[in-house]
């Protein structure tokens, strides 16, 4: 992006390639030393586009990438762990059925559904209060 912006700037502002790339680096970083600045409308539009792209797109993407690397759920189950847990539950269900059959106990066909967790808004105190 810096090279492309520098090439366009060089063409629009009739500056050297090195000055144009330097301008693109300074502008993209939003430092703005002021030693090189556009004088034409097209050059200023390019500067606005480059600054906007960096501030609104590139910098947030880089920040989000690093943030996602820092936020790791060490307690999250891997696929293999989930499969192992499901196999354990199947074995326990089979054992429970065997024990129930031995002792003449009838098990329900389906386990009772677990209660739904409280809504996030209610946990933060924003939910409706009953009573």
The whole-number pLDDT of residue 94 equals 93
63 located within any domain: yes
pTM of the model: 0.47
**Residue 76 within any structural domain of the chain:** no
- Per-residue pLDDT tens digits for 41-93: 898 889 889 888 988 988 899 999 999 888 877 778 789 999 999 999 999 99
Q: Is pLDDT of 126 > 70?
A: no
User: pLDDT of 30-48, one tens digit each?
Assistant: 777 778 888 888 988 898 8
- What residue numbers bound the domain in which 45 lies? 2-70
Distance separating alpha carbons of residues 5 and 20, to the nearest angstrom:
8
Q: Which 3-state string (H, E, C) describes the chain?
A: CHHHHHHHHHHHHCCCHHHHHHHHHHHHCCCCCCCCCCCCHHHHHHHHHHHHHHHHHHHHHHHHHHHHHHCCCCCCCCHHHHHHHHHHHHHHHHHHHHHHHHCCCCCCCCCCCCCCCCCHHHHCCCCCCCC
Whichever domain contains 23, its CATH number is 1.10.287.70
Does residue 92 lie within any of the structural domains? Answer: no
Number of domains in the chain: 1
With respect to residue 87, please indicate whether it lies within any of the assigned structural domains: no
Q: Is residue 31 part of a domain?
A: yes
* 99 falls within a domain: no
Tell me whether residue 89 is in a domain: no
């Amino acid at each position: 992006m810096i090279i492309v912006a520098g090439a366009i700037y060089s063409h629009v502002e009739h500056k050297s390639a090195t000055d144009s790339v330097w301008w693109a680096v300074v502008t993209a970083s939003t430092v703005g030393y002021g030693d090189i600045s556009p004088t034409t409308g097209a050059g200023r539009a390019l500067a606005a586009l480059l600054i906007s792209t960096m501030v609104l797109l590139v910098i947030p993407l880089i920040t989000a990438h690093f943030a996602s690397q820092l936020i790791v759920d060490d307690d999250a189950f891997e696929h293999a762990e989930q499969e192992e847990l499901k196999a354990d539950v199947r074995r326990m269900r089979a054992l429970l059925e065997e024990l129930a059959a031995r002792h003449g106990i009838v098990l329900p066909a389906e386990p009772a559904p677990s209660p739904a967790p409280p809504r996030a808004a209610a946990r933060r105190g924003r939910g409706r209060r009953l009573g």
